[in-house]
Amino acid sequence: MAVVVAYGSAILKALLLVVGYLICLGVYRLYLSPLAKIPGPKLAALTFLYEAYYDIICRGRYTWKIQELHKKYGPIVRINPREVHINDVNYYDQIYASGSQHLRNKIRHMATHDESMFDTFDAETHRIRRAAMSVSFSKRSIRALEPVIRATVEQLADRMEALAGSDRIVNLKELYSGLTMDVIGQYCFGESMDNLKQEAFGKEFLDFFHSVPQGHPVGRMFPWLYDIIQKIPIRILARIDNKLQPLADYEKKISSQITDVLAKSKPDGIRTVFHELRDSKQLPESDKTLDRFKAEATIFLGAGTETTAAALTTISYYLLEKSDRLERLRDELRDAFAQNPAEPITVAKLETLSYLTGVIQEGIRLSFGVPGRLPRIAPKEELVYAGFKLPPGTVISESSYLIHMNEDLFPDPHAFQPERWINDKAGLSGNFVPFSRGARMCIGINLAYAELYLTTATVFSRFDFELHGTTQDDVKVCHDFFVGMPYLESQGVRVKISSADFYHQGRLDPGACDIITEKQLAKSEPQNVEA
């Protein structure tokens, strides 16, 4: 009996300690924290469960709740016990600064082992890893990659030509994802993933990159859970759940591809990203492991596939929604190449076309590749906003969705208006942050633009499309799983494909779509802009 009483007393003391700790923690967060005076709901300041409800239970909806909070509390809001969210594009460059005087660390918002450059938390380590691959993604390097991109776009056009007139209903996102994954696969491994050659365009890989981000809110809330899962070999997990078999096959495939790339002293074709990383003198040997390169490959393929394909899908829907947009784009393409129809299409040439550029900018803006916040920590600086002091170590963020949906910056923000970018008299470029800014700005920006320009110009000069069972809801982003997604029941932008009359009638000479040669590329003058 005495043992039972003693055991019960110990449990009671433990419970009292836990309750006492929680009370002290709550008092600190609400009244003593350096963030205590920052506006926001008390429940958000008290517990992370407030955020978890909107992001886990409501499936990636906290970004929209934050938008509501800003309308209620103003441009600075405390959104969880340790994070402040600011909705002011004029302060964006302060948060996402660059340079040795303005170090910005990441927080652990997804369960990783800090191996890829993208997920590197420490600013100094990130700087070294980024420098090692920056040459591969510079504008000059992407210009040299144009023949590869162009050839892959031609494969896409061949598949569309085969589907034209067949009455088959095609999901454009799947087609475009096959394209973008094939491009980044070639640049990473020296060989295509061959999605465009497959009947379903590599759907098993694409489904994987669509489903994995949906676990992002759980990973951000409970990173320890992902730590446990990641320690279990994927081949074992695939035996437990057959749905994970494509992931096991994927890991095996990229491991083999990276091993082959690293074994070749001289690449057979293009010099890939992993050749550059292997030979980099900036990168320490400890970073040149197969496991770390696999982590980089996963990020490259995921980021290089999903966001660009989403932008192309959004562009396609809005061009097809109103025929006058498509006709204006075609007129501009026809006029651009009318004087010299045999001139090859190059990114440098396409970038001079104002309406095409507006179409692409609006497609990027409304596809919201990464709509939500990108948390940063200034480890050595005290930042100040609207009179509120944010001490070193404070987690601070902004969201591209809130900026791009700001009516003062982008009038009628939900509308697809390529015209707003022509001449950009309103200075919209300064409010355009889909690739973020600063030291951690998206390294793939030049590759993304090259794919967008070449694909949009080629596809809409050659083919007509009829929307099938598709509405604006199928491209309207309403979930933030780090990457933006439309409602989860959406079947995507579905179309029937037919050949475009104006292409076959000679309004745009087929010669204008020839693949550029290395000699022609050398004659062009690539813009000296680095990623």
pLDDT tens digits, one per residue of 176-215: 999 999 999 889 888 888 888 888 887 777 777 777 788 8
- Residue 495 sits at φ, ψ, to 5 deg, of -140, 160
Closest CA to 426 of 446, 407, 402: 407
Q: Is 374 exposed, middle or buried (0-12, 13-18, 19+ CB in 10 A)?
A: buried
Domain that holds residue 18: 1-32
Confidence at residue 302, expressed as pLDDT on a 0 to 100 scale: 84
Confidence at residue 525, expressed as pLDDT on a 0 to 100 scale: 39
Per-residue pLDDT at 138 exceeds 50 = yes
Task: Tell me if 120 is assigned to some domain.
Answer: yes
pLDDT band at 166 (very low <50, low <70, confident <90, very high): confident
Task: Tell me if 528 is assigned to some domain.
Answer: no
Confidence at residue 423, expressed as pLDDT on a 0 to 100 scale: 81
Same domain for 148 and 24: no
- Residue 353 sits at φ, ψ, to 5 deg, of -85, 115
Contact status, residue 495 vs residue 470, Cβ threshold 8 Å: yes
pLDDT band at 269 (very low <50, low <70, confident <90, very high): low
Which structure tokens are listed for 465?
Answer: 């499309």
Same domain for 111 and 7: no
Confidence at residue 524, expressed as pLDDT on a 0 to 100 scale: 40
Q: Which range, of 338-347, 422-431, 488-497, 505-514, averages the lowest pLDDT? A: 505-514
Same domain for 153 and 17: no
Task: Tell me if 465 is assigned to some domain.
Answer: yes
Task: Tell me if 44 is assigned to some domain.
Answer: no
Same domain for 496 and 381: yes
Helices (H), 215-322: 216-221, 223-230, 234-240, 245-263, 273-279, 290-321
Confidence at residue 4, expressed as pLDDT on a 0 to 100 scale: 60
* Residues whose CB is less than 8 angstroms from the CB of residue 435 and which lie 6 or more positions away in sequence, other chains included: 441, 442, 445, 448
Q: How far apart are CA 30 and CA 474, in angstroms?
A: 41
Same domain for 167 and 19: no
Q: How far apart are CA 448 and CA 327, in angstroms?
A: 24
Same domain for 250 and 393: yes
Task: Tell me if 77 is assigned to some domain.
Answer: no
Same domain for 395 and 279: yes
Compute how many other C-beta atoms are within 10 angstroms of the C-beta atom of residue 39: 17
Task: Tell me if 53 is assigned to some domain.
Answer: no
**Residue, of 152 and 107, whose pLDDT is higher:** 152
Contact status, residue 149 vs residue 530, Cβ threshold 8 Å: no
* Residues whose CB is less than 8 angstroms from the CB of residue 312 and which lie 6 or more positions away in sequence, other chains included: 172, 176, 179, 180, 363, 451, 452, 455, 456
Same domain for 244 and 161: yes
pLDDT band at 511 (very low <50, low <70, confident <90, very high): very low
- 58 in a known ligand binding site: no
Same domain for 138 and 17: no
Same domain for 306 and 230: yes
DSSP 140: H
CATH number at residue 353: 1.10.630.10
Q: What is the mean pLDDT of residues 12-21?
A: 88
Confidence at residue 270, expressed as pLDDT on a 0 to 100 scale: 74
Contact status, residue 280 vs residue 132, Cβ threshold 8 Å: yes
Q: What is the mean pLDDT of residues 464-490?
A: 94
Task: Tell me if 41 is assigned to some domain.
Answer: no
Which structure tokens are listed for 478?
Answer: 């309403």
Per-residue pLDDT at 492 exceeds 90 = yes
C-alpha distances out from residue 84 to 65, 377, 384, 390, Å: 14, 11, 12, 9
Most confidently modeled range among 79-93, 218-232, 247-261, 507-521: 79-93
Task: Tell me if 1 is assigned to some domain.
Answer: yes
Contact status, residue 361 vs residue 468, Cβ threshold 8 Å: no
HSE toward the beta carbon, residue 405, CA cutoff 13 A: 22
C-alpha distances out from residue 398 to 7, 374, 522, Å: 50, 7, 41
**Residue, of 47 and 300, whose pLDDT is higher:** 47
Confidence at residue 516, expressed as pLDDT on a 0 to 100 scale: 38
Question: For the whole model, what pTM was predicted?
Answer: 0.89
Q: Give the three-class secondary structure for 439.
A: helix
Number of separate domains in the chain: 2
Q: How far apart are CA 60 and CA 373, in angstroms?
A: 12
Q: Say what percent of the chain tops pLDDT 70.
A: 90
Same domain for 93 and 27: no
Per-residue pLDDT at 512 exceeds 50 = no
Residue the block writes with tokens 């609400």? 30
Q: How far apart are CA 265 and CA 157, in angstroms?
A: 34
Laid out side by side, the sheet with 494-499 consists of 170-171, 494-499, 463-467
Same domain for 14 and 143: no
